[in-house]
Structure 1
């Protein structure tokens, strides 16, 4: 998860969904006349922040700050994407918030990050505290995703149970939830957010080859699988995908080509302080 170059080249799904989210929901953001400060939580390699998010910002915004828990991602983002109005900092959104960042931003956005957080209330409380009075947020993260079920199945096998013993640490808190929208809304209103709107969006994505899936999985794989075992891990991973019928033949499979299709749900949240 700290290989910024791999993530940058293998996060087409994340980029597509971030773009679609902004296309549909950016209008919920209430821009000031000038001088807006924006924080992008979980910026990763910085490419979504600079190549996608910036397209939806007003021309007279003041500053955009990307933050990520990974020092390697932040280093890469600063090397590739920082400039006079854009910078990237290390921040654990689940941890203690630096005093200097409190009430510093007019808008907080986040794409494909908050499902990694186990202590959801801590993260959402920090997002609240990052915002100035009247500030707002637009957040998108995974609800239900079949990849989590693949990991859970691998964790039950003799070969992988040791390496995936903490599997549920990396499963979205809402993967098994029957009513995630109500759950999130209650939590955010308890923290103090107003105008809370939570939508569950069903989506799907098709990888054009098994190799593309392997690269995408490796880019976000949270488990410390030994390098010499990783190719076996991925073969077992693909075998489960095949058993779960995610792999589809293309053109009657005459040339051996396949597609890998995932259907999943995203949670899109907007709210105001």
Structure 2
């Protein structure tokens, strides 16, 4: 997930869903004067500045994006940084800097928290980053075929050595029967108030096999050579076919297809 350029051009789903969720849930955010805003898991900075920033009042004080990837942060600072917008390296699951505790009025996160194993640690850190009466809006994956395909590949001898930690990269809510209840309970335990958690049924349709490969490659968490990854993506596509996720295919597999990605998106809001 360190291929910045590929991620920059292949995160259409992330951008679409970030915009939709901000449109639907943005009214819950209590904006004030000179707010400090944090975007957790900012990636290349495109969603932070191209989408989130458009929903922030012009009189904000500082917009900070953070990500665990040094390469993503360097790219974001180089392309999107300015006097009121900056990006930093931070692991939301780990130890957060002392000077950032209580430093933000609002925290957002789009398509990041499903990669976190220790959910309580991440949500506790988000709570600690907020100042009094601060709020958060968090958007992340629940159930998606992506994780099912990863699991299937991990059982094959060819890919087992590369995907031995596959469960580390499956959403903690992928198999949950009631993810809303789980998240609400956890947030209440941490101390959040005004909690609202919704599980939304979503669909995104890819039009070419190449689009699917690029989208998967952009978020592929498993380390392998470029040549081997191409084989990995071919096997990925074969499984997608077996799962009957392709609505229609022309004779030329590189031409237009309809590849359905039905998934659930979790949206969590809370205040401190």
Category of TM-score, reference length = shorter chain: over 0.9
Deviations 1:201-225 (A, max 9, x none): 1100011100000011110000012
Superposition TM-score, scaled by structure 2 size: 0.97
Q: Indicate whether 1:99 and 2:106 are aligned.
A: no
* RMSD after superposition: 1.0
> How big is the shift at 1:122?
0.4
Q: Per the alignment, in what secondary structure is the counterpart of residue 126 of structure 1? A: helix
Change (3 A) 1:254 1:2: closer
Deviations 1:116-175 (A, max 9, x none): 000000000000000001000000000111110000000111111111111000000000
Partner of 2:112: 113
Partner of 1:43: 42
Q: Describe how 1:210-249 pairs up with structure 2 within 5 A.
A: 210-249=209-248
> How big is the shift at 1:255?
5.8
Superposition TM-score, scaled by structure 1 size: 0.97
| 1:39–1:108 contact (8 Å) kept in structure 2 | yes
Question: How far, CA to CA, are the matches of 1:25 and 1:169 in structure 2?
Answer: 29
Q: Runs of 5+ in structure 1 lacking a partner?
A: none
> How big is the shift at 1:247?
1.6
Q: Describe how 1:162-201 pairs up with structure 2 within 5 A.
A: 162-201=161-200
Q: Describe how 1:56-75 pairs up with structure 2 within 5 A.
A: 56-75=55-74
Question: How far, CA to CA, are the matches of 1:132 and 1:231 in structure 2?
Answer: 46
> How big is the shift at 1:254?
5.8
The number of aligned residues is 270
Question: How far, CA to CA, are the matches of 1:236 and 1:254 in structure 2?
Answer: 19
Partner of 1:130: 129
Q: Indicate whether 1:2 and 2:2 are aligned.
A: yes
Q: Runs of 5+ in structure 2 lacking a partner?
A: none
| 1:210–1:259 contact (8 Å) kept in structure 2 | no
